[in-house]
Structure 1
Amino acid sequence: MNLVRSEFLKIRTTNAWWLFGLGAFIMLALAFLINAVGAYYTLSDPSTEGLNPEDAAAFEATQNAVYQAANLYTSGQFFGLLFVLLLGIVVMTSEFQHQTVTTTFLTTPRRTAVILAKLAAAALAGAGFWLATTALNIPATIIFLSTQDVSSQLGEWAVVRSMLLNLLAYVLWGILGVGFGVLIRSQIGATVTAVVLYLIGTIAGQAFFSLIALWLNWDWFDDLRFIVPSIASGLMVSGNNIPGQPVFWVGALILLGWSVLTGTVGTLITRTRDIS
């Protein structure tokens, strides 16, 4: 616990956490606006005219209040997770950036304990981001749904489940950030690479699997896009199961697997790496 507290002290005494928090807040406001506009038109115009049977079934699954409420309550997840990832990277790479890693390991020679403390601090910081964004999403969503004559839907388990799984996503992405920071020790190099992989990788992964599936007429291949962590995160917070897509818990298992892998690899590398 002393190690975890020291990691929080490092986070609190730098500008990174509030800069990332400010960025997450701005993107949250934009995401909620987009989701609210989408929910307004979806709830007010449920027509599936002109759609093929598969697209019509998928669209109908998004038309109910449960799906839209879950989407609104988890607004800002995409960019929020990116900022948590970056914070996790800073937790690790700042040691090398400011050349404090030698002092850290001399003070606490057990490297595994140090990495576990960093993983715990990044995970808890991710939970803090989730708490802040959810605290803003809840009243905003309730107000919006009331304007559409729809109840808050907070009594629906699917909605509550989405919010709790969103918490899990924020926690796991903090762990991913620490693991990524171990692989690339340069703070600038790690943050730039992470942003490019997160943004471009999400779009490229979506396009690659969809185009190959369309080209070869392999419908199952399109589901492989959910191995991309950011896409899996979106799947796990969906309020309803969408026809043609894996169920929500598949996304949770994939993201959990990525977190365990990066956390384990990061710990093993740090235990044997020369830090001089």
Structure 2
Amino acid sequence: MTLVRSELLKIRTTSTWWIFGLITLPLWGLALFFNYLQTDALASGNVGEAAGEQADQIQAAGAADNLAANLYTNGQFFGLLIVMLLGIVVVTSEFFHQTVTTTFLTAPHRTAVMLAKLAAAGVLALLFWIVTTALNLIFAPLILNAVDVDPQLGSGVVWRAIALNGLAYLLWSVLGVGLGVLIRSQIGATVTGILLYLGGTIGAAIAIGLLAQRFGDWISKLQLLVPSLASSLMVGGDTDIPGNPPQWAGAAVLIGYAVVTGVIGVLTIRRRDIS
């Protein structure tokens, strides 16, 4: 616990956490605006014509539970990017400010230091999740009421989505710490993380869509292999949306990525020379 408190103190005494917080709020607001437009379109049925499985997916997405789950987890896409970058900074700031040697001289057990960094990044991630969830619990009922949908706060689907959203925040902080260990340069790790997150998400979505048209809708299930898309599946509401893998599958894949990244991070920091 002493090491965890030390890592949290390092973060609190820098401007990093509140800068990321200031970035998060407008991104959350932007996401809320687009989710409002989407909710209004789905609730009113004004989404154009579709056929086959696509029509079934639109109908399922327009169900009250799924509309609510989407709004109560609003801001996840950019929020996960932010906590991943925070995880990167927790590690790379030591190398950037050249304090890593002092850290390991003070606490020579590198595994314990690495675990403390993972715990500190996880605490920060959960804090960001709590704040955005609190905002969602305020604004989501207002939007649902505006489109004549009950707030659905008694729905297990909604609370499951909120809880899984918290898990996604926690796991992405672990991914960030692991990436920060592998790429010690703060700028290099940050740029790489952004490119992998945004580029990977957009590129994978386009590629999977094209392949699904060519080889069939079963290809859509491959979205599970993309971490950011797996995160979206985790909070997708009803597990019976046609063509979508179940929520637990998205959670399992993301947990797998986080465990592998965390283990690689611990092993790397134990073996790498520090100077």
Superposition TM-score, scaled by structure 1 size: 0.96
CA distance in 1, matches of 2:155, 2:192: 39
Whether the 8 Å contact between 2:83 and 2:125 is mirrored in structure 1 is: yes
CA distance in 1, matches of 2:38, 2:222: 26
Runs of 4+ with >6 A deviation:
none
CA distance in 1, matches of 2:147, 2:44: 9
The Cα shift of 1:214 comes to 2.5
Is residue 2:216 matched to residue 1:235? no
The Cα shift of 1:138 comes to 0.6
Question: Hey, what does 2:126 align to over in structure 1?
Answer: 127
Count how many residue pairs are aligned between Structure 1 and Structure 2. Answer: 274
Q: In the TM superposition, what whole-angstrom CA distance separates every residue of 1:156-203 from its partner, at most 9, and x where no partner exists? A: 000000000000000111111100000000000000111111111111
Question: Hey, what does 2:113 align to over in structure 1?
Answer: 114
The Cα shift of 1:47 comes to 7.3
Question: Hey, what does 1:225 align to over in structure 2?
Answer: 223
The Cα shift of 1:29 comes to 0.4
Question: Hey, what does 2:23 align to over in structure 1?
Answer: 23
CA distance in 2, matches of 1:111, 1:170: 25
Question: Hey, what does 1:167 align to over in structure 2?
Answer: 166
Question: Hey, what does 1:8 align to over in structure 2?
Answer: 8
CA distance in 2, matches of 1:47, 1:263: 42
The Cα shift of 1:16 comes to 1.1
The amino acid that maps onto 1:194 is G
- Bigger shift: 232-241 or 110-119? 232-241
Whether the 8 Å contact between 1:11 and 1:17 is mirrored in structure 2 is: yes
CA distance in 2, matches of 1:47, 1:109: 59
Q: In the TM superposition, what whole-angstrom CA distance separates every residue of 1:231-266 from its partner, at most 9, and x where no partner exists? A: 000000011132011011111001100100000000
Question: Hey, what does 1:38 align to over in structure 2?
Answer: 38
The amino acid that maps onto 2:53 is E
- In structure 1, the residue corresponding to 2:148 is in which secondary structure? coil
Whether the 8 Å contact between 1:175 and 1:263 is mirrored in structure 2 is: yes
CA distance in 2, matches of 1:73, 1:219: 28
The amino acid that maps onto 1:263 is G
The Cα shift of 1:46 comes to 6.2
- In structure 2, the residue corresponding to 1:167 is in which secondary structure? helix
Q: In the TM superposition, what whole-angstrom CA distance separates every residue of 1:29-87 from its partner, at most 9, and x where no partner exists? A: 01011101111121112677x32121111111011111011000111100000000000
Whether the 8 Å contact between 2:230 and 2:254 is mirrored in structure 1 is: yes
Identity fraction in percent: 54
The Cα shift of 1:218 comes to 4.1
Whether the 8 Å contact between 1:88 and 1:122 is mirrored in structure 2 is: yes
CA distance in 1, matches of 2:160, 2:46: 25
Question: Hey, what does 2:76 align to over in structure 1?
Answer: 77
CA distance in 2, matches of 1:222, 1:168: 23
The Cα shift of 1:136 comes to 0.6
Question: Hey, what does 2:186 align to over in structure 1?
Answer: 187
- Bigger shift: 150-159 or 114-123? 150-159
The amino acid that maps onto 1:65 is A
Question: Hey, what does 2:153 align to over in structure 1?
Answer: 154
Structure 1: which 5+ runs fail to align?
none
Question: Hey, what does 1:273 align to over in structure 2?
Answer: 272
